[in-house]
Structure 1
């Protein structure tokens, strides 16, 4: 079947429903900039398949979700795929926000794409960030140089030779955002276990911690690893993009490390804007289209 409907003898490309990425939103410019770059990457990827890509935030940052939806509707799109750009399960705020948009635009129809985690490719990206952090040589730097781009929380002074630490003496702390939703927090614990068994099985353990809202915090996760006998701990943020949340992870790790100089603490980077993450999003988008077609059929 041709995807190019014939209108008065002219072949017009079939337009897929646009992909609308929904971000939580914050006042942090770094996270907003990375979100914008990722939206641009997806536009370039989906351009050949005649699918528009837009992005909007629920609150705090711009463009707001309401602005992005209004722009799509003004350009003649009345059906779209809404995909929360999130690693955790979809909270109630996402359906509530889209229901409000439907009230504003009665002709609007939408389908949801599944959140991104814990896709095996996301776990593989976490493994890459873990390997990068493990390969970094610790360096002692003053806090004013470390923040906001801390990569290593050192415990060995520069003038002393670095100790050799085996993989079995190294623990990992996977840090999620933290939520008031118990199911969302349980999902992060599940990801930690999956990550340990599929990508970090040579490490002593993979513990779970949260940036805020729910315990244990980053210091609590580090303390558990220390009590288990770890000589080195690598903190892996379970976050998509850099920004204020990541800086809080690093700051908590730095503060704990200052009180435990014998423990080598390292901090990994976030998953970040990359082609593999774009692959996961595109698969979620295509999946939502297939499910919608199956329901309509």
Structure 2
């Protein structure tokens, strides 16, 4: 029997974990598999091993592991596969297929534009955009992020979409704020490329409130991507694609 295991990042902020669970529960309604479980890579429970165990307890002999993550970086390439090695050791009779994150997708740009519009942005407005990512030491993830910024710039028609990162990459968020604070535009929209709330969102809010007191352009912090029907459509696509991926691990015939 086939199962789907959704893997979120995890956060120390309980609200963020609950948002991921709610998002996955909504997605399950549109994804036609009887066994669907949600787990986290770190900081939240259940972890990947516990999630896989729940799938097996319900009768799964094949698990499609779908990362509920934005870009392909260290978590996708190293951390999750390491945990799946442990799952395979514990359940050698189970086949595992491993999918891709949301990645570059038109619907991601649709949601970003909506988040801007929800804060009052309009085409033709004298405004700048600061796109803020979590950050990574992975070159491909940084390149993909800059590609998203470039596509967003073309879509919105602003002169430039500046970028900044909350960790592990440059420019830092502080540097990004300092740059846009010197902008000649009347308004700057700070746009988080984050799925759900957490400590990083709280940190951004605090810094923007402090910077806005001395900043000439008005700063507006947009909402994170969050629960959105369009993101559920992307997740459904990634889930379908995962079931067509080669097996990361095939079940051991000796243990069937």
TM-score by length of 2: 0.88
Helix, strand or coil for the counterpart of 1:290? coil
**Would the aligned equivalents of 2:5 and 2:66 in 1 still touch at CA under 8 Å?**
yes
> Pairwise CA RMSD of aligned residues?
2.1
Cα distance in 2 for residues equivalent to 1:91 and 1:170: 37
**Would the aligned equivalents of 2:12 and 2:198 in 1 still touch at CA under 8 Å?**
no
Partner of residue 56, structure 1 = 39
- 1:185: how far off? 2.2
Q: What 5-or-longer segments of structure 2 have no aligned partner?
A: 251-256
Partner of residue 230, structure 2 = 276
Judged with a 3 Å threshold, the aligned counterparts in structure 2 of structure 1 residues 259 and 91 are, in CA distance, closer, same or farther, namely: farther
Partner of residue 41, structure 1 = 26
**Would the aligned equivalents of 1:178 and 1:212 in 2 still touch at CA under 8 Å?**
yes
Partner of residue 213, structure 2 = 258
Partner of residue 200, structure 1 = 156
- 1:73: how far off? 1.1
Cα distance in 2 for residues equivalent to 1:222 and 1:59: 29
Asked if residue 285 in structure 1 is aligned to residue 242 in structure 2, the reply is no
Out of 90, 98, 102, the position equivalent to 1:116 is 102
Partner of residue 100, structure 1 = 86
- Could you give the per-residue CA deviations for residues 22-55 of structure 1, whole angstroms, max 9, x where no partner exists? 1121211110110110121122222xx2442211
Question: Could you say which structure has the greater relative contact order, defined with CA pairs below 8 angstroms and 6 or more residues apart?
Answer: 2
Higher mean alpha-carbon deviation, 244-253 vs 70-79, is at 244-253
Out of 23, 27, 37, the position equivalent to 2:12 is 27
**Would the aligned equivalents of 1:218 and 1:252 in 2 still touch at CA under 8 Å?**
no
1:55-204 aligned within 5 A = 55-89=38-72, 90-134=76-120, 167=124, 169-197=126-154, 199-201=155-157, 203-204=158-159
Judged with a 3 Å threshold, the aligned counterparts in structure 2 of structure 1 residues 166 and 282 are, in CA distance, closer, same or farther, namely: closer
Helix, strand or coil for the counterpart of 2:44? coil
Cα distance in 2 for residues equivalent to 1:44 and 1:239: 23
**Would the aligned equivalents of 1:79 and 1:110 in 2 still touch at CA under 8 Å?**
yes
Judged with a 3 Å threshold, the aligned counterparts in structure 2 of structure 1 residues 182 and 226 are, in CA distance, closer, same or farther, namely: same
- 1:57: how far off? 0.9
- 1:226: how far off? 4.0
- Could you give the per-residue CA deviations for residues 89-118 of structure 1, whole angstroms, max 9, x where no partner exists? 124111111112111111121112211022
Q: Specify the structure having the higher radius of gyration (Cα).
A: 1
- 1:68: how far off? 1.0
Partner of residue 218, structure 1 = 173
Cα distance in 1 for residues equivalent to 2:104 and 2:148: 6
**Would the aligned equivalents of 1:43 and 1:52 in 2 still touch at CA under 8 Å?**
no
- Could you give the per-residue CA deviations for residues 246-292 of structure 1, whole angstroms, max 9, x where no partner exists? 112222222222232x2200010011112211111011111222344
Cα distance in 1 for residues equivalent to 2:22 and 2:39: 13
Cα distance in 2 for residues equivalent to 1:180 and 1:104: 31
Partner of residue 12, structure 1 = none
Cα distance in 1 for residues equivalent to 2:86 and 2:123: 54
**Would the aligned equivalents of 1:222 and 1:233 in 2 still touch at CA under 8 Å?**
no
